Amino acid sequence: MRNAMIPFCLFAMLFATVGPSLAAADGNGAAAAPVKVIFDTDMLSDFDDVGALACLHALADAGECEILATISSTRGNASVGAVEVINHYYGRPDLPVGAPKGMGVIGPRPGSKSKIDPALPLTERTNQIGGHYKYRKLLADYPGWYRYKDSDDAPDANEVYRRVLAAQPDNSVVICSVGFITNMRRLLETKPDTISPLDGKALVAKKVKRWVAMACQYPSGKEYNSMWDAESSRIAFENWPTPIQFSDWRYGHDCFAGRAVAEMKVERSPVKDVFAGNIPSRDEVRRNSAKCLRSGFGMGGRSAWDETAVLLAVRGVEPYFNAERGTYRMTGKDGSNEWAPDAENGPHLRITQRMPKAEVARVIDELMTRKPKNGKN
Ligand SMILES: [Ca+2]
């Protein structure tokens, strides 16, 4: 495994980043610099991505992070526009956006063979495009809040990554991915160009402090974000030159957040709209709790897979999580994966429970329900 070849100094870097790392203050009580974050999302069918992006903007409003770019990991759909609607809501309509070209997930759902026709009306036919309906509806409900109705019209994610990384100080950027791994693989495979004399792997090694990924299913399984472009996942995880921290699927699955967002007393909020429109009622959860749990719903809302990744990216492991060192790897072309614990030499880290999950969910809800500091509507 190439991972076994990662030098020990990277392990030291990994754990240097996971101590108490609240951005509000360093160990001496002085204000810490905001964490520089590139956010990479599928914004495809599920909606914890919306919660994650809302958390990120709230943390940026508080000076805890700086959002450098918001990039989609899918093409031929409304994902980029949906991201832009959220960015607009928080008063950051000009954030760089991008999408992959030529590979990875396309269209309205994983496994689709073709893109969505952006002119397709929102009618019963939208049943055919499943969960992506909510994002197309977001574009219909918030006209003028986005630039790219079709993510294929957005810039190439590679160009955005390279431009943003090249402009940042060395070892300063945290990538937070809450979708497919396509863009990381493509970035690693980029060649030197007019943006940077470095190839993708060298550019990442120089600029990226760590990659926080919502991926991995302990101890093994077919984790959604890793499996749908399994070859890219394998290449990226095996070749990434800086530490990777995983927000494990099992952590987020029973950490429920978002009902507080759905029940907010605000008008004209795309974040509220998405949560209110997609969480089962309290009564339904009460009547069908086992079924809801299997589907990732609880009384508190939706499984907070992606929001926990944002917490990990901006605030670090403590005080919310424990962490285990090991190796996460793809084990088959079908997207199977496994986590191999290795406390001594594992190049990766995955979070486990420390604080009760209901408390973590309350932290997430508090962030998601904050009023945008400079919001536009
Ligand atoms: Ca996601």
- The predicted-structure confidence for 120-164, as pLDDT tens digits, reads as follows 888 756 656 778 999 999 999 999 999 999 999 999 999 999 999
Mean pLDDT along residues 199-225: 97
pLDDT of residue 29: 55
- The predicted-structure confidence for 348-376, as pLDDT tens digits, reads as follows 999 999 999 999 999 999 999 999 999 76
Ligand 1 centroid to residue 224 C-alpha, Å: 9
Q: Do 332 and 221 form a contact (C-beta atoms < 8 A)?
A: no
CA dist 251 and 213 (Å) reads 13
CA dist 86 and 269 (Å) reads 9
pTM here is 0.92
197: in domain? yes
Q: Do 41 and 83 form a contact (C-beta atoms < 8 A)?
A: yes
15: in domain? no
Mean pLDDT along residues 49-66: 98
119: in domain? yes
pLDDT of residue 30: 62
Q: How many residues does the chain have?
A: 377
Ligand 1 centroid to residue 194 C-alpha, Å: 32
Ligand 1 centroid to residue 70 C-alpha, Å: 13
Hey, what amino acid is at 186? R
- What counts of helices (H) and strands (E) characterise the chain? 16, 13
pLDDT above 50 for 10: no
17: in domain? no
What is the total count of domains within the chain? 1
Ligand 1 centroid to residue 142 C-alpha, Å: 21
pLDDT of residue 376: 64
342: in domain? yes
pLDDT above 70 for 294: yes
Q: What CATH number is attached to the domain comprising 220?
A: 3.90.245.10
In percent, the amount of the chain with pLDDT more than 90 equals 85
Ligand 1 centroid to residue 46 C-alpha, Å: 6
211: which strand partners?
Answer: 175, 244
- Cis check: omega of the bond before 341, within 30 degrees of 0: no
Ligand 1 centroid to residue 28 C-alpha, Å: 36
Ligand 1 centroid to residue 364 C-alpha, Å: 16
Could you tell me the end-to-end alpha-carbon distance of the chain, in angstroms, rounded to an integer? 50
Ligand 1 centroid to residue 9 C-alpha, Å: 31
pLDDT of residue 15: 41
266: in domain? yes
Out of 15-24, 206-215, 223-232, pick the least confident. 15-24
Sheet-wide strand order for 35-41:
97-98, 65-72, 35-41, 173-177, 208-213, 244-246, 348-353, 321-330, 337-341, 220-221
Ligand 1 centroid to residue 345 C-alpha, Å: 29
Q: Of 102, 82, 348, which is closest to residue 210 (Cα–Cα)?
A: 348
Residue 370: other Cβ atoms inside 10 A: 16
Alpha carbon 240 to its chain's center: 17
186: in domain? yes
pLDDT of residue 131: 87
Mean pLDDT along residues 68-75: 98
305: in domain? yes
- C-alpha torsion 71→32→359→255, nearest 10: 20
pLDDT above 80 for 243: yes
pLDDT of residue 219: 96
pLDDT above 50 for 5: no
Question: Domain containing 51: what range?
Answer: 34-368
Ligand 1 centroid to residue 204 C-alpha, Å: 22
pLDDT of residue 128: 61
Ligand 1 centroid to residue 158 C-alpha, Å: 19
Mean pLDDT of the chain: 91
Ligand 1 centroid to residue 30 C-alpha, Å: 34
Ligand 1 centroid to residue 215 C-alpha, Å: 9
Hey, what amino acid is at 175? I
Ligand 1 centroid to residue 193 C-alpha, Å: 30
